[in-house]
Amino acid sequence: MKKVLLGMSGGVDSSVAALLLKNAGYEVIGVTMVLFDDSSIEVGCLSTNASADAKLVCDKLGIEHHVIDLKDEFKKRVINNFIDCYKNGTTPNPCVECNKYLKFGALYEYAKQIGCDYIATGHYAKVKDGKLMKSEAKEKDQSYFLYGIKKEILNNILFPLADFNNKEEIRKIALDNDLVVARKKDSQEICFIPNDDYANYLENNMDKLPSKGDFILKDGTILGKHKGIMYYTIGQRKGLGISYKHPLYVTKIDYKNNKVILGEEKDLYSNELIITNINILVGKLPNRAYAKIRYRAKEALATIEAINKEEIKVIFDEPQRSITKGQSVVFYDNDVCLGGGIIK
C-alpha cells in the first residue's frame, strides 16, 4: 500500500481529499502546519482552529494526524518577504512563496523523512505525465500559485480534487460523509492577515514605516503628498486624496526617490515586462505561450525572450493593464502550466 502525506488545513477541500485518498486505497497521514500564533484568525489555511478541525476529520476517517511547527520557516520565507516587498514598493504574492517553500518544500522533506511515497494537498490542480496542469474546475484552478514547485517532485504529488468541476461537489461529499467541516467557510485571501487589512498588518509589523513623499505626474509635476509607498499598488484609483481634472491612477512606484507616479488609465497599459526568480516546469519554454500577469487576469498570447540565465523578457501581443512588480507571470500551453517568474 502506497503511503501519502496530506497537508490538512482543517478546511473542506483537504478534508475531502483525505477521504478520497483513503477510499482510493492509500495509507494516508494527515499533517497540519503550525505557521503562526494568532487566535484572532478563525478562517484560513493556517488558522488556530486548523489543527483541531483536521484532527477531528482524521479521527473520523481512522487515519494518523501529525502537527509540525514551521513558524520560523514561514516567517523567514513568507512574512518577511511580504513585508520587504511592500517596503520596496512591490506587491508580493505570499501564496506562491508558501507553496514553493512550505507546502511543497518543507512538507515534502517531512514526507520523505517518514517514508511517504507521495505528498498531497487540497489544491485545485492536476499532475499528469509529470506535468502540472489546470484542474477541471477552471474557475477554481490554482495552478497559477503552484508554478514554483520543483519539476523533479511533480510525479510525487497527488491532487485528489483535480477532476471535480466545482466546489459544490466537494461540499456535497463532505456533507454526505458527515465531515465536521462540511459547512466551514472558504479561506480568506491571505491567511496570516486578519480581515485582509494589509495596511494595518504592515503598520503593526514593520520595524520602520515608510516616510511620506510626493505624488507626481510623469512630467515631474508635484500634485501632493502620499502617506508612504506601502499604501499603494499599480492601478489604484481610490484613496489617493488628489483632486484633478480627470481620474488619476497609480502608474508607477519609485522606491528609490520615494515618489508615487500618477497618470491616466491609458498609462496603465504596457506590452512588455521582465521576470526573474524563474522556475520552468517543462524541458524548455517555447518562444510563444499564453501568460497570466496575475491570478485573476485573462491569459494573453506573448513572445518569450531569454535575456540571460536569470531574466526573461515577455512581450505581449496586446497591451496588458496594471503590470505590477512583485506579482507572478505564469505561462501556459492550453492546460499545461509551463512555469513562470516574478515581475521585476
C-alpha cell at 175: 456533507
Tell me if residue 145 falls in helix, strand or coil: helix
Choose among 110, 112, 117, 124: nearest CA to 157: 117
Place of cell 488628489: 242
Helices (DSSP H) in 150-268: which residue ranges?
A: 167-176, 198-205
Grouping H, G, I as helix, E, B as strand and the rest as coil, residue 253 is strand
Q: Which residues of 124-159 are buried (b: 16+ CB within 10 A; e: fewer)?
A: bbbbeeebbbbbbbeebbbbbbbbbbeeebbebbbb
- Out of 45, 58, 95, 191, which one is annotated catalytic? 191
58 an active-site residue? no
Best CA proximity match to 269, nearest among 322, 196, 305: 322
45, 58, 85, 98: the catalytic one is: 98
191 catalytic, yes or no? Answer: yes
| Burial of 178 from C-beta contacts in 10 A (0-12 / 13-18 / 19+) | exposed
The grid cell for 102 is: 512550505
> Which positions are annotated as active-site residues?
98, 191
